[in-house]
Structure 1
Amino acid sequence: MSLGAFHDSEPLTLGVELELQLANTHDYDLAPYAADMLRLMGRHQLPGSVVPEMTSGMIEISTDVCRSSAEVLSQLGQIRDALVQCADKLNITVAGGGTHPFQQWHERRIYDKPRFQELTQLYGYLTKQFTIFGQHVHVGCPDADAALMMLHRLSRYIPHCIALSASSPFVQGHDTQFDSARLNSVFAFPLSGRAPCVLTWADFEAYFDKMTATGVVRSMKDFYWDIRPKPEFGTVEIRVFDTPLTIERAAALAGFVQSLAAWFLAEQPFTPQEDDYLVYTYNRFQACRFGLEAEYVDPGSGEHLPLREHILRTIDRVAPYGEAHGASGALQLLRGDTLASHNDARWLRECMAQEDLLAEVTRQAGLRFRG
């Protein structure tokens, strides 16, 4: 199968996808209500789309193409309000968070869609364990070569994205001691991790042709990379974010990505190289495990410093580009939380410490999502 042409897109435009939890209002476990939610949501005239996900206690919403984080927030707000209305009719709740705190994977049902059934045949129980919830952010690139440069420059900031969005401390009733335990489920897939460090589209096409020739890969969808190019949209897609507890944070994370991307396009601040990836897995693990308290090894300088400090430096560096694209409020929100060492994982833990009941944590998360 051919990779296909890299389509034109307006540089620095945004698209956001959110995978969301559907929980009953009896014990706040996941509930198989995706089909009912899709039926009710189909009656609303909304931007973007609402589609099923791997198992029937989850759905995915997405925006149309947006030019700013404010537009992302506006579209997510419209979709969120309709979701809440539909959920109330079904007596269920919709929540963010990268994992459901206590659902048992073996109780999940695969949503009846041919691709999901194929994946179940291939990956076995891993597909049910894929009942995890992420945010994907697409950013428009001027051309195919620029997209690969963007992808590999962004890779230095994957730990920042993980720590800022981390919202999955609990798995199957236990505190994992990770801020983002969700990504541990992604790493189990054989084609996860990072893209090969090729910087021209011609070289990437050659790599893709080799992979399809092995019979292991049929399309870009088969790569579960942290960041991947999406030639059909003309974008690069970042996939490491946990789904935040609020749409405000989801929009702010999109603003952070747009600000970074604008800086890269304007200044070309460094040329990516294979050696950038020497510390990639270490940095990613640190961010998953410790969130904003992680250690970060700068791939360029080799400097070891607190990730929180590097996030603050980065926000200050991209602030002029954020301002030019209307993302100042988004960066301010993230800066304030970073200074306070506060992400959604910490909020969930604080809620658990106060309530001592994970069902109540899920109920409170559902209330937060309502806004």
Structure 2
Amino acid sequence: MSLEAFHQSEPLTLGVELELQLLNTHDYDLAPYAADMLRLMHKIPLPGSVVPEMTNSMIEVSTGICHSSSEVLGQLTLIRDALVKCADKLNIAIAGGGTHPFQMWHERRIYDKPRFQELSQLYGYLSKQFTIFGQHVHIGCPSADAALVMLHRMSRYIPHCIALSASSPYVQGQDTQFDSARLNSVFAFPLSGRAPCVLTWDEFGQYFDKMTRTGVVKSMKDFYWDIRPKPEFGTIEIRVFDTPLSVERAAALAGFVQSLAAWFLAEQPFVPAEDDYLVYTYNRFQACRFGLDAVYVDPATGEHMPLRDHLLHTLDRIAPHGEHHGAAGALHLLRGEIEANCNDARWLRERQREEQLLAEVSRQAALRFRGQATP
């Protein structure tokens, strides 16, 4: 199979996907209600789509094509409200978060869809451990070559995306001491990590052809990279975000991506190179482990600095572009939380410190997703 052509899209348009938890309302463990939720949701006209995910206690929702983070928020709010209405009919709850705090992977069941069954046969128990929940953000690119340049520019800011969205400190009842433990499960897959540093679509096509000849890869879906091109949409897809606990935060993260991309296109601030990846894995680990308290190594200078400081500096640089594209409110929300040293992982830990019961933490997370007041 050869690489498909890169379709045309409107530059800087957005699309957002959210993988969500389905919870019973008895003990707030995961509940196998994906088929029922899909049946009810398909009766409601909404933007985007609602589809199954790997196991039957999770679903994925997506927006349509949006032009601003406020439009993303509007669509996600409509979808969220419909989800809550359907969940209430089933006496279950919906929650964000990158991991469920105490579910046991061996209890999960693979959703009955051919691709998921094939992946289960290939990856064994890793497939059930893939009951993790992420946000994916698509950003429109003016051309195939521009998409690859944007992808590699964006790679310098993967730690920023991880720290801002981190919401998975707990796995199977344990505090992992990671802000984003979810990505540890992704890293177990053989085709995860980073894309090859090529900057033209012709070169990328040559790489893709080599990979398909090995028989390891059949399509772009087989790459679990942190960022990958999506030629059928004319976008690049940033995949490192944990699913946030609220749709407001999900929309703000989309505004951050759009503002970064607008800065890249307008100012062409640096030329990506393979040397950018010398510290890539280290920076990514730091962000997963420590969140906003991580150390960031600038790949251009080798300078070490608090990631929080680099985030604030980045927000200053992209602010004019964010304002131009209607993302000023999104960036303001993120700036306030950075300055308060607060992300969703910290919120979850604070709830557990107060409640000493992860089921109650999950209950409060479900209320937060509904938009109801929580402590």
Common fold: TM-score over 0.5: yes
**In the alignment, residue 5 of structure 2 is paired with which amino acid?**
A
Cα distance between partner residues in 2 of 1:223 and 1:47: 27
Matches within 5 A, 1:253-332: 253-332=253-332
* C-alpha deviation, 1:140, in angstroms: 0.1
SS of residue in 1 equivalent to 2:345:
helix
1:238 — aligned with what? 238
| Structure-2-length-normalised TM-score | 0.99
1:112 — aligned with what? 112
1:36 — aligned with what? 36
2:150 — aligned with what? 150
* C-alpha deviation, 1:302, in angstroms: 1.0
2:214 — aligned with what? 214
Cα distance between partner residues in 2 of 1:234 and 1:165: 25
**In the alignment, residue 107 of structure 2 is paired with which amino acid?**
E
SS of residue in 2 equivalent to 1:189:
coil
Matches within 5 A, 1:12-27: 12-27=12-27
**In the alignment, residue 81 of structure 2 is paired with which amino acid?**
D
Cα distance between partner residues in 2 of 1:87 and 1:127: 25
* C-alpha deviation, 1:66, in angstroms: 0.2
Cα distance between partner residues in 1 of 2:166 and 2:82: 26
* C-alpha deviation, 1:162, in angstroms: 0.1
SS of residue in 2 equivalent to 1:22:
strand
Cα distance between partner residues in 2 of 1:206 and 1:348: 45
Aligned length in residues: 371
- What runs of 5+ residues in structure 2 fail to find an aligned partner? none
1:357 — aligned with what? 357
SS of residue in 2 equivalent to 1:59:
strand
Matches within 5 A, 1:45-64: 45-64=45-64
* C-alpha deviation, 1:256, in angstroms: 0.2
**In the alignment, residue 361 of structure 1 is paired with which amino acid?**
V
Cα distance between partner residues in 2 of 1:245 and 1:47: 21
* C-alpha deviation, 1:223, in angstroms: 0.2
**In the alignment, residue 360 of structure 2 is paired with which amino acid?**
E
Matches within 5 A, 1:169-180: 169-180=169-180
Identity, % of aligned positions: 82
SS of residue in 1 equivalent to 2:158:
helix
Cα distance between partner residues in 1 of 2:27 and 2:266: 51
Cα distance between partner residues in 2 of 1:91 and 1:356: 25
C-alpha distance after superposition, 1:121-148 (max 9, x if no partner): 1000000000000000000000000000
Matches within 5 A, 1:63-102: 63-102=63-102
1:122 — aligned with what? 122
- What runs of 5+ residues in structure 1 fail to find an aligned partner? none
Cα distance between partner residues in 2 of 1:279 and 1:339: 25
Cα distance between partner residues in 1 of 2:67 and 2:310: 27
* C-alpha deviation, 1:265, in angstroms: 0.3
**In the alignment, residue 238 of structure 2 is paired with which amino acid?**
I
C-alpha distance after superposition, 1:294-339 (max 9, x if no partner): 0000011111000000000001100000000000000000000001
SS of residue in 1 equivalent to 2:61:
strand
SS of residue in 1 equivalent to 2:50:
strand
Cα distance between partner residues in 2 of 1:4 and 1:158: 26
Cα distance between partner residues in 2 of 1:72 and 1:334: 16
**In the alignment, residue 160 of structure 1 is paired with which amino acid?**
H
C-alpha distance after superposition, 1:32-60 (max 9, x if no partner): 00000000001101000000000000000
C-alpha distance after superposition, 1:261-285 (max 9, x if no partner): 0000001000000000000000000
Cα distance between partner residues in 2 of 1:54 and 1:163: 25
1:227 — aligned with what? 227
Cα distance between partner residues in 1 of 2:330 and 2:207: 37
Runs of 4+ deviating beyond 2 Å: none
SS of residue in 1 equivalent to 2:162:
helix
SS of residue in 2 equivalent to 1:126:
helix
Cα distance between partner residues in 2 of 1:34 and 1:3: 33
RMSD: 0.3
SS of residue in 1 equivalent to 2:279:
helix
**In the alignment, residue 310 of structure 1 is paired with which amino acid?**
H
Cα distance between partner residues in 1 of 2:214 and 2:358: 45
* C-alpha deviation, 1:11, in angstroms: 0.1
SS of residue in 2 equivalent to 1:2:
coil
C-alpha distance after superposition, 1:209-240 (max 9, x if no partner): 00000000000000000000000000000000
SS of residue in 1 equivalent to 2:16:
strand
SS of residue in 2 equivalent to 1:23:
strand
